[in-house]
Amino acid sequence: MPESTRNRHALCIGINDYPGTGADLFGCVNDALDWQSALTARGFRATTLLDSGATGAAIRAGIRELVGAAKWGDKVVITYSGHGTWVPDRDGDEADRRDEALCPYDVDTRGVIIDDELYALFTAKARGVRIVMISDSCNSGTVARFASFGTADATSRVRYLPPEAHLTTGQFAQARALAGRPRSKPQRDSALLLAGCRDFEYSYDARIAGRANGAFTRAALDTLVELPRAATFTDWHRAIARDLPSQRFPQTPQLYGSTTQRAWEVL
């Protein structure tokens, strides 16, 4: 029996405007709307958080609400298109002592959402709930300036907000000085992550066929419609990898999750 929209829920986040940072983007809202359309067509009840609606508090509350309401057999998808960055790791669980982070609309005044927070939100799920996060952002430990990189054309930008744009001078100095081995901590079943690039790469915000989109989002959506019904996330990742990296967009999409999660049927 086909699954109803009651057990398929999605939150699609897209942020172009970053007040106070001088680092606005142009394709992220389109990404979120495109994901909403694609997921709705697949039976998801999909909502959006866009620009000023995508504050840190709103993103946390939106994820918490979806995960908290999900029951055994439900599917939850979170898509994020916007800037990624890093902050100093405080609990020693990162080998490079840097926590990857997402940048909400109010990052300049309210700060970032770190990967440890997302982990806590996702692992609060009930047993048997499948959570997938699709992130089209840079989550890089490399210090860089906000600019076009590599061989991308003049209409492309990287979705990376350098830490010095949102950390104090003291925090940034501390972050660069931190070093050490991670402490082990218990791991719980979290979300399956489909990401736009490796930690040391950039996800590109670009114009593709005259329209603003993320390079990864466009490749993911274009390949999604071509997949057979029984395709897995591993199959989807392989299909995306035929398009990226490319000369124009030198980013390598990643799939992070357990063997079981990678074998889930796509969406």
Is residue 9 among the annotated active site residues?
no
- Which of the following is catalytic: 83, 166, 197, 237? 83
Strands 98-102 and 113-114: antiparallel
* E strand residue ranges, 24-104: 45-50, 75-81, 84-88, 98-102
Q: Which of 98, 241, 123 is nearest to 192 (CA)?
A: 123
Q: Which of 28, 103, 138, 197 is catalytic?
A: 138
Of 91, 87, 30, nearest to 56 by C-alpha is 87
The Cα–Cα gap between 141 and 162 comes to 9
Return d(Cα 212, Cα 189) in angstroms, integer: 35
User: What is the Cα 126 distance to its own chain's centre?
Assistant: 22
Pair 181, 95: CB distance under 8 Å: yes
3-state percent breakdown (helix, strand, coil) of the chain, nearest 5 = 30, 20, 50
Residue 83 a catalytic site member: yes
Residues belonging to the active site? 83, 138
